[in-house]
Amino acid sequence: MKEPVRKQKKSSEGSGANVRAASRTIDLFEAFATIRRPMTVSELARVLKIPVSSCFTIIRTLETRGYLYSTPPGTSFYPTSRLYLASQDITKSDPVLSSVGDTVRHLRDESGETAMFGKLSRNKVILLAVEVPPGPSRYMPQVGDMRPVYATSIGKALLGSLPDAARDKILSQIELERLTRKTITDLAQLKRDLDLSRRRGWYVNAEETIPDMTSLAVPLTLRGEYYALAVSGPSVRIKANLQANLDRLAAAAKVISRS
């Protein structure tokens, strides 16, 4: 009776080690993207907050696979373009981005605001397409960002697309954490906001995640799945162009849904 238990524990520990190694590898590439220069093993270990021995193992594996190379005098490392080339091939074949990319860019150009496209992922919003207009901006989202479902316009639009039972299940599993003084943290108030937004056909994040920043979103379906499209910018500008932005969102959502 004891042997199966020991095997299960060992398997669980091994799985945890694999997840940790994968997470550290992603952290390593993100560290290079942020720091943008060659780093030694000890530097990377400090940045990643992991033991030098663990960092060395990851580096040696990536170097063997051709994703890192050593720089003179041989003690520092930097990524090769192999990951970039692989990501280009992946992006070219993205089944969603190939359908929505041009429309999201057009929405950005027409509105002059940041345009975003996302869907639900494990009770959060994952941004699948982001187009930021040129010039300084207080909000610089990136593809792959995970955003709170209850306090973003895209998240609200996705919640509003679901049947009430599915929506309530998600809301029961998350904490309505206060992000700004305008974040809705009362569940009953949030449900009223979602119901109102569902009836009018659009959703708003009125400075609920970032002060003085507002975003508008509309839900849509693409190949049988729920998605949402949003524009985001300074509250004063978004409010001044409210109807124009809503019209642009509606038109863009229609284009995407037909693709």
Q: How confident is the model at residue 9 (pLDDT cuts 50, 70, 90)?
A: very low
Top-level CATH class of 94-258?
A: alpha beta
pLDDT digits (tens, 9 = 90+) for 58-95: 999 999 999 999 988 768 999 999 999 998 888 887 77
Who's near 112: CB < 8 A, 6+ residues apart?
Answer: 133, 233
Top-level CATH class of 2-84?
A: mainly alpha
Number of neighbours of residue 29 by Cβ within 10 angstroms: 14
For residue 14, give Cα distances in angstroms to 7, 19, 28: 11, 9, 21
Of residues 16 and 239, the one with the higher pLDDT is 239
Lowest mean pLDDT among 5-14, 89-98, 207-216: 5-14
Identify the sign of the CA torsion 215, 217, 222, 227. positive
Domains in the chain: boundaries:
2-84, 94-258
Q: What does the pLDDT read at residue 14?
A: 55
User: Percentage of the chain surpassing pLDDT 90?
Assistant: 78
- 2-84 with 94-258: one CATH topology? no
